[in-house]
């Protein structure tokens, strides 16, 4: 275990590392939302970022595929690397970044199109050269939605339930065959059964994808993730194996948070 600023941070070996967050500070105008955060994301693992509302966890997540760029006056200092390459280098095209690092949002946001088109749109604009119908079927199966929608692929996606819509959004993200999947509180708008569905799904997806999930639900982080980062007021307090964070936290703040004494 190495000491990083004031935070306890477990090191991820270079072979395992897929995303590197190195001394990252993110500001809205002049207000820092994320302050000097450093930790790594391990390949084919689930990493969760937890912390109280407004701690900067979503902002940090959105910096991993440059989705913050749609908010004006956001600036990032430090380095985010993907397979060793600087994601924010001048020569890097953010469109290409997002083709490798997909995202699922807090509220299901299917396009007002058919179920089929929701999934096929991404690969179509990305000029996928295989069979798109097969890809759509595979993605819907991976998102364990296929059996529920296979007979009504041409119906509007807006007719699905909230949980189904969120799995559709996951299928849509998987269809561009990303390496990393970012999930921003993907279950916060869902009922417990749909949540269980998506948690099982994440477990199944782990063999093929790296998942980073932001959640305010500590039980969820404890259940699904291999690594957990705890943030508070823009600072990383502790990062380590989930087991250790929840049973033997090194920092007092972490312990207070995971045992429910604040937050």
Partner 1 sequence: MTTPAVHLKSISKGRVRWLEPLIHSGLGFCTLISIITTATIVFVLAKESFGFFQEITPSEFFFGTSWVPMFKPSSFGVLPLLWGTLIVTFGAALISIPIGLASAIYLSEYASAGKRAVIKPLLELLAGIPTVVYGYFALTFITPALKVVFPDLQVFNALSGAVVVGIMVLPMIATLSDNALKAVPDSLRQGAYALGATSYEVTSQVVVPAGLSGVMASFILAISRAIGETMAVTLAAGATPNLSFTFLESIQTMTAYIVQVSMGDTPAGGVAYQTMFAVAGLLFVITLTLNIISQWILERYREVYQ
Interface with partner 1 by CB under 8 A: which residues? 65, 67, 70, 72, 95-96, 98-100, 102-103, 105, 107-113, 121-122, 125-126, 158, 165, 169, 172-173, 176
As measured in angstroms, the least distance from the Cβ of 64 to partner 1 is 11
How far is Cα 34 from Cα 24, in angstroms, rounded to an integer? 7
How far is Cα 85 from Cα 124, in angstroms, rounded to an integer? 26
As measured in angstroms, the least distance from the Cβ of 240 to partner 1 is 29
As measured in angstroms, the least distance from the Cβ of 176 to partner 1 is 6
Element (H, E) at 156: none
As measured in angstroms, the least distance from the Cβ of 112 to partner 1 is 5
Residue number, 136 or 218, with CB nearest to partner 1:
136
HEC assignment per residue over 115-141: HHHHHHHHHHHCCCCCCHHHHHHHHHH
Residue number, 145 or 218, with CB nearest to partner 1:
145
Residue number, 191 or 243, with CB nearest to partner 1:
191
How far is Cα 27 from Cα 49, in angstroms, rounded to an integer? 19
- β-partners of residue 181 are 102, 211
Rounded to the nearest 10 degrees, how much is the dihedral formed by the CA atoms of 137, 139, 145, 146? 10
As measured in angstroms, the least distance from the Cβ of 122 to partner 1 is 4
How far is Cα 34 from Cα 231, in angstroms, rounded to an integer? 9
Residue number, 67 or 202, with CB nearest to partner 1:
67
As measured in angstroms, the least distance from the Cβ of 63 to partner 1 is 13
Residue number, 158 or 222, with CB nearest to partner 1:
158
Rg of the chain over Cα atoms, rounded to whole angstroms, equals 18
Residue number, 182 or 237, with CB nearest to partner 1:
182
As measured in angstroms, the least distance from the Cβ of 109 to partner 1 is 4
How far is Cα 230 from Cα 51, in angstroms, rounded to an integer? 6
How far is Cα 14 from Cα 164, in angstroms, rounded to an integer? 37
> Is the C-alpha dihedral spanning 64, 66, 67, 73 positive or negative?
positive
Task: Give one word for 205, left, alpha or beta, with left for phi > 0 and alpha for psi -120 to 50.
Answer: alpha
Residue number, 123 or 249, with CB nearest to partner 1:
123
């Amino acid at each position: 275990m190495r000491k990083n600023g004031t935070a306890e941070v477990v090191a991820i070996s270079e072979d395992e590392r897929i995303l590197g967050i190195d001394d990252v500070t993110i500001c809205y105008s002049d207000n820092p939302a994320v302050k000097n955060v450093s930790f790594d994301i391990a390949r084919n693992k689930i990493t969760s970022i937890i912390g109280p509302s407004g701690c900067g966890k979503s902002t940090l997540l959105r910096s991993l595929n440059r989705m913050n760029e749609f908010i004006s006056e956001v600036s990032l200092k430090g380095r985010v690397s993907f397979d060793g390459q600087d994601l924010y280098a001048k020569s890097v095209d953010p469109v290409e970044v997002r083709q490798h690092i997909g995202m699922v949002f807090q509220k299901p946001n299917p396009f007002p199109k058919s179920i089929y088109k929701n999934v096929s749109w991404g690969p179509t604009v990305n000029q996928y050269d295989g069979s798109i119908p097969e890809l759509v079927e595979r993605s819907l199966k991976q998102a364990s939605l296929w059996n529920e929608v296979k007979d009504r692929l041409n119906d509007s996606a807006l007719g699905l339930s909230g949980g189904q819509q969120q799995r559709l959004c996951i299928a849509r993200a998987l269809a561009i065959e990303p390496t990393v999947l970012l999930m921003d509180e993907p279950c916060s708008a869902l009922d417990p059964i749909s949540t269980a569905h998506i948690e099982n799904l994440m477990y199944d997806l782990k063999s093929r994808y790296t998942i980073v999930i932001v959640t305010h639900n500590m039980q969820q982080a404890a259940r699904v993730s291999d690594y957990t980062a705890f943030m508070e007021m823009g600072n990383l307090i502790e990062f380590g194996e989930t087991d250790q964070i929840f049973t033997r936290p090194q920092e007092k703040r972490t312990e207070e948070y995971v045992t429910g004494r604040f937050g």
